[in-house]
Each structure stands twice: as structure tokens, then as C-alpha cells.
Chains A and B, each alone.
Chain A
């Protein structure tokens, strides 16, 4: 019955102030939608950036003259480098050719017909943990004797130097930008929503004052507002609904059960005015009414029954 009361209170106030309601719903909707959109974009960009970063690769080409021992030695040297992610992939000459064929597709046969030997070098493919270190790692192979460098250059070690650098710069900038955007939009959403809520409370400050005077607990006053808000965010966006209101999930039955017992007993007797207040109070003791919370939920106790247990009944 309490819930029905709150619900009907909420509904009737929605009906009476529908312009305000629509404005509030729209405000909440739009601000949450924008925030949600920003977060989605941020999420995607981040994912993109991460996968790009993961794809930064160093390819080290080996001389055909390298002996298997030398190759194995290089491999274990690479594996021991702390910057390197996982084991390097060794691509033998044959594998390189097979890959090449695959890449050429239908034309492969005619081109490869003319080759008497396999011109493709074997290689190691190395992934680094942190793309910023790609330069440093690559430089270690510049002077390796088994790396297939044309004398005077480092063309045996291939990595997208400029591209990587530019990409990293861009990603960094975008990430910072998204941070700022997220903060701004979150702040905007919070401010907008809190203003809306405050406005709707302000519009009812007289009502609230009266509720306080007749001894409504804070939650008793809040419930209709909460129900009102509960109904709104159903249409809100991705990030919308729960978050803002999760704080209200842990509502308890306010202070009322404390007096309910006493009231009920007293109700049996009050027929008009005969039973005087303080007499009744004396009859039923000074507080310490039993407490039976109606809703048990998870949040920390706000209007905890402990307070109520020693309720002050005059």
C-alpha cells in the first residue's frame, strides 16, 4: 500500500506538471545520450589504437649464408630482449615464397615460372610490447652480421619508422582529446541533471516544507521523486538508466515501522477525541517500538532502523 501511495503520488505529480516533466525527461535524455555517445566513441578509438599498436612489427631479414646455428643464436637473443612481446616468428625462405605466392594470387604461377632460385630471404618477425621502443629494438639488428643489410644502410631491418611515430602521436592526441571530452560531457550531464532535479524540487519546496512539518522522513518525501525519475530513464541512452539512480535502490522503509505498532494499537481506541495524546504515549511507552524493515536491499543504511528503534514518542 505504501508503494501504491508513492506511485500514485508520482503519477499525479507527473500529470500535473507535464511540461516540466517533458523538459526534465528531455534534458536527462539528451545529456545522457551525448555522454553515452562520447563514451562509445572513446571506447572505439581506444580499441582501434590498441590494435594498431599491437600491429607494430619489426621484420629482420637474414642473409642466405646464415647457418642454422647463427639463426638459432639470433632467435634466442631476440627472445631474451625484455621489450619483445612473445617469441619472434621465424619465416623461412620457403614460407616467404609461399606467402608471396598467396599474395600474388592468380598471377603467381607465370611470374614464379621464371625464377630458378628462391630470391626471398628468411626473416624474423618481432612484435614489441611498447611501440615507443620500436626504434631502439630495431637498432640492435643494424650491425648484426647475419642480417641482410646492404652495406652502409639498414635495409635489412624493416619497420614503419615514420608511420609508427606519426601514428603514436596521433593516437596520443586523440586519447587526450577524448579524456577531455569525456570529462566535459560528464560534468555537463551531471550539472544538467542535477539542475533539473533541483528545479523540480524547488518547484515543490512548499510541499516539501509541509511534508517535513507533519513529520515525513526524508525518504518518505523522496520516494515519489525517485519513482518519478525511475520512470524517466527507461528511454535514456546507453549509460543512462541505472547509474544515476542506483543510489536509491537501497531505500528502507523510512522511520515509519517504529510507530506503526503503537499507532495500530492506538487506532483501535481512537474514536473521536477521547484518548489524549500524552496519555496514549504513556500507555504505549516512550519509543522502543518494534522494527520490521520492509525492503531489505544492499546499500549502506541511511535511515537505519537503529535510529528508529529508540524512536522518540512523546
Chain B
């Protein structure tokens, strides 16, 4: 699903984001991306979204070479990648329902199916009764669930999560992770950047560790810290 071949990213100021990273994440995998702040986790995620261009190397997403993907097709790429962020990125003046519906409106989904799908996915994340609330009226954990719902309402084959539990208390985090896990079981590939040591250790999923832009570890059923 995602292949990096010797990818480097140096920012304009000379700051190194990624250094010669090669890795492959297969279809349906669940992978954690760990590493201290500034180690390049966000850079990697933004590269997959083609928000950034690599300085060097090749990135393939679902067999598509992002280096040669035309700008006009970026929206189409992103429609197939669900995104969850630390700060939720919900539209503050739209209700929960509208926020999720937006992702469908963007792809020109007919209104009838929007009315059907949105409550469906919101029930799935356990927010069926908060559909008409504004993001400011619900808790952080709930907001994050809305954001997960929005990311998955299109059933994208790939879901990226950038510190999805960064702003949420541990108990709620478990809920979010379970949600991601359920989504993963439907076949969606998930790449989740996180700081959450406990979560990573408990889940025992593939772990990719970055340190100052280098991929320092890649374990099938890894933990947050190296077991050495």
C-alpha cells in the first residue's frame, strides 16, 4: 500500500525531515510510527498525503508514484486516504453530522445516501445521539471519534492517524484505538503516528521507529522502545 524507496526530505531551511527512509507497508496492515518529537513522523505522513514533496527518493501509494502524480489529482489521492489528527481538525461551525457529511459532499455523493451513511458511521463510533451538536459542545474524545468517522465514511483503503490520542486521556484513547482496530479489520491499512507508549506496547502491532529522520527500527510485533 505504501512504499518508500530511499526517501529523503530536507526542508528549505536545511532542516532534515527524513533521511534515506525505505519501508513498505502492505495492504491491510496496521503499523505504528513512533519516535521522539522532530524525528520525522509528521513529515512522513505529510509526504504520503503529498502535502510535501520529497527531496529525494520515490514514494508509492497503492502503486501510484507520488513524485509523478499531477497536482490536479491530489484531491483524488486524498479522497482515498482518511486522515485523523491530533487536533481533530473539525469545522467549528458545522455540526457533527455536517462535518462527517462534508467528506461525502466533496466527492459528490447524492444527498440521499449522505443521509443514510452519516448516521450509520456515527452510530458505529458511538455518537449517534450527538449528531446535531457542534464540535465545541462535545468532549475531546468525542471530537476525535467524529474525526475518525469523517476519515472513514468514504471507506478509504488507507487511513493515516497523526497522534490521534495526543490530546485525549488514556481511557478514551483506548476507545479510539479500538475503533482504529475495527476499521483495520475491514481491510483498511492504518498508519498511526503516536507517542503513546502504553498503547503501542499493548497492541503489539508492527512498529516503525524514527529517530532524527532515520528509520531505526521496523518490527513485526513491536513495542514502543527497543527491546534490546
Q: Which residues of A contact B (CB under 8 A)?
A: 1-2, 5, 16, 206-207, 209-218, 220, 253-260, 263-264, 266-267, 270-281, 286, 303, 307-308, 311-314
Give the 8 A-B residue pairs with the shortest CB-CB distance, closest first: A276-B187, A277-B157, A215-B79, A256-B108, A215-B78, A278-B157, A314-B80, A314-B62
Contact between B76 and A312 (Cβ–Cβ < 8 Å)?
yes
Across the interface, which residues of A come within 8 angstroms of B83, CB to CB?
A: 213-214
Please name the residue on chain A nearest to B100 by beta carbon.
Answer: A214
Taking the nearest CB of chain B, how far is it from the CB of A140, in angstroms?
Answer: 69
Q: Count CB-based A-B contacts (< 8 Å).
A: 140
* A–B Cβ pairs within 8 angstroms, 5 of them: A214-B102, A267-B109, A273-B186, A277-B158, A314-B77
Selecting from B30-38, B110-118, B214-222, the interface stretch reads B110-118
Partner of A210, one of B49, B91, B105: B91
* A314 to B93 CA separation, bound complex (whole angstroms): 31
Contact between B80 and A277 (Cβ–Cβ < 8 Å)?
yes
- Residues of B in contact (CB 8 Å), total 48
Query: With an 8 A cutoff between CB atoms, is B202 at the interface?
Result: no
Across the interface, which residues of B come within 8 angstroms of A257, CB to CB?
A: 108
Query: With an 8 A cutoff between CB atoms, is B16 at the interface?
Result: no
Across the interface, which residues of A come within 8 angstroms of B62, CB to CB?
A: 278, 281, 312, 314
Please name the residue on chain B nearest to A310 by beta carbon.
Answer: B73
Apart from A211-B102, A273-B124, A273-B182, what 7 extra A-B contacts exist at CB < 8 Å? A1-B110, A214-B83, A255-B73, A271-B120, A277-B186, A278-B62, A314-B157
Chain B 59-101 interface 0/1 with A at a Cβ cutoff of 8 Å (1 = within)? 0011110000110110111111101000001110100000000
Query: With an 8 A cutoff between CB atoms, is B1 at the interface?
Result: yes
Q: A279-B187, A314-B157 are in contact. Are A263 and B109 (CB under 8 A)?
A: yes
Across the interface, which residues of B come within 8 angstroms of A279, CB to CB?
A: 187
Query: With an 8 A cutoff between CB atoms, is B204 at the interface?
Result: no
Partner of A267, one of B70, B73, B117: B117
Q: Which residues of B contact A (CB under 8 A)?
A: 1, 27-28, 49, 61-64, 69-70, 72-73, 75-81, 83, 89-91, 93, 102-103, 105-111, 113, 117, 120, 124, 150, 155-158, 182-183, 186-189
Taking the nearest CB of chain A, how far is it from the CB of B59, in angstroms?
Answer: 13
* A273 to B164 CA separation, bound complex (whole angstroms): 20
* A311 to B64 CA separation, bound complex (whole angstroms): 11
Across the interface, which residues of A come within 8 angstroms of B76, CB to CB?
A: 215, 255, 258-259, 308, 311-313
* A267 to B187 CA separation, bound complex (whole angstroms): 17
Partner of B108, one of A2, A280, A307: A2
Contact between A274 and B78 (Cβ–Cβ < 8 Å)?
no
* A256 to B150 CA separation, bound complex (whole angstroms): 18
Please name the residue on chain B nearest to A16 by beta carbon.
Answer: B93
Please name the residue on chain B nearest to A210 by beta carbon.
Answer: B89
Q: A215-B75, A311-B76 are in contact. Are A5 and B158 (CB under 8 A)?
A: no
Q: A270-B117, A274-B186 are in contact. Are A216 and B106 (CB under 8 A)?
A: yes
Contact between A255 and B75 (Cβ–Cβ < 8 Å)?
yes
* A279 to B89 CA separation, bound complex (whole angstroms): 28
Contact between A214 and B80 (Cβ–Cβ < 8 Å)?
no
Contact between A281 and B108 (Cβ–Cβ < 8 Å)?
no
Contact between B108 and A277 (Cβ–Cβ < 8 Å)?
no
Across the interface, which residues of B come within 8 angstroms of A220, CB to CB?
A: 75, 106
* A260 to B113 CA separation, bound complex (whole angstroms): 12
Contact between B124 and A272 (Cβ–Cβ < 8 Å)?
yes
* A220 to B72 CA separation, bound complex (whole angstroms): 13
Partner of B79, one of A2, A259, A266, A272: A259
* A263 to B155 CA separation, bound complex (whole angstroms): 10
Please name the residue on chain B nearest to A260 by beta carbon.
Answer: B108
Across the interface, which residues of B come within 8 angstroms of A206, CB to CB?
A: 89
Across the interface, which residues of A come within 8 angstroms of B189, CB to CB?
A: 278
Q: A5-B105, A210-B91, A263-B109 are in contact. Are A314 and B61 (CB under 8 A)?
A: yes
Contact between B150 and A214 (Cβ–Cβ < 8 Å)?
yes
Contact between A276 and B188 (Cβ–Cβ < 8 Å)?
yes
Taking the nearest CB of chain A, how far is it from the CB of B187, in angstroms?
Answer: 3
Taking the nearest CB of chain A, how far is it from the CB of B65, in angstroms?
Answer: 10
Most buried by A among B63, B80, B156: B80
Taking the nearest CB of chain B, how far is it from the CB of A181, in angstroms?
Answer: 41
Please name the residue on chain B nearest to A217 by beta carbon.
Answer: B75
